[in-house]
Structures are given as structure tokens and as C-alpha cells.
Amino acid sequence: MGLLIVDDEDGEVLIPPTNFSMVEDGIYRSGFPQLENFAFLSTLNLKSIIYLCPEPYPEENLKFLQSNNIKLFQFGIQGKTMLETIQFSSTVSKESIGQAVLLDA
């Protein structure tokens, strides 16, 4: 089991997503969030999420985003091989990802 955080106000256990960490002030990274991570994520006051999988974003997660006014940006990556990474980087520029991150700044 990963990190558990207890909210002092109501004693709720907050569970960050797998591999959660801060990249920079206000910018975070993690594995795919599950239902048990939603309470933790809601404490971060997120404005947008960048989703890198080609599969549709799950309905349960979309409802969480909608109820918290979080925008979803999807840049589907097919796999993790070097060739696919190079193909992705040639079709999705750093600027377009940066714009998605900065839209709500």
C-alpha cells in the first residue's frame, strides 16, 4: 500500500494515486487515479489533467472531473517503445502540451 494521509478536519483517510509526486509547485504526476484517490485529488484544487492513454477516459473519472471543474486534455500514446515515443514527440509538440498545462494558470 502507498502513502496514506489523514485529513485533520474530519479524520478521512486520503490516498494519493500510485507514483504520485510533485513536479513543480502546482504541477503533479501520478499513475492512473482510482476511486479511492478522488478525495486526495480534490484537496489539490486541480484545474486540468493531461491523460496520455489512447483509451477513452472512464465515465466515473469524468464525473469526478466535472464535479470538480477540472478540464481533461487527452494525448493518446499507443505504447512505450522508443519508436512510438519518437513518433509521439513528432506529432504532439511540447508547446501543445505546455498550452494545456498553462490554459488554467
Domain ranges within the chain, ordered by starting residue: 21-103
What amino acid is encoded at 18 in this protein? Answer: T
Q: Is the dihedral of CA 59, 12, 71, 88 positive or negative?
A: negative
Task: Convert the pLDDT of each residue in 29-71 to its tens digit.
Answer: 999 999 999 999 999 999 999 998 889 999 999 999 999 999 9
Question: What architecture is the 21-103 domain classified under in CATH?
Answer: Alpha-Beta Complex (3.90)
Does residue 21 carry a pLDDT above 90? yes
Single pTM value for the model: 0.69
* Confidence (pLDDT) at 105: 46
Longest dimension (CA), the chain: 49
| Distances, alpha carbon 85 to alpha carbons 68, 77, 90, 101, in Å | 32, 8, 9, 20
Q: What is the mean pLDDT of the chain?
A: 79
* Confidence (pLDDT) at 5: 66
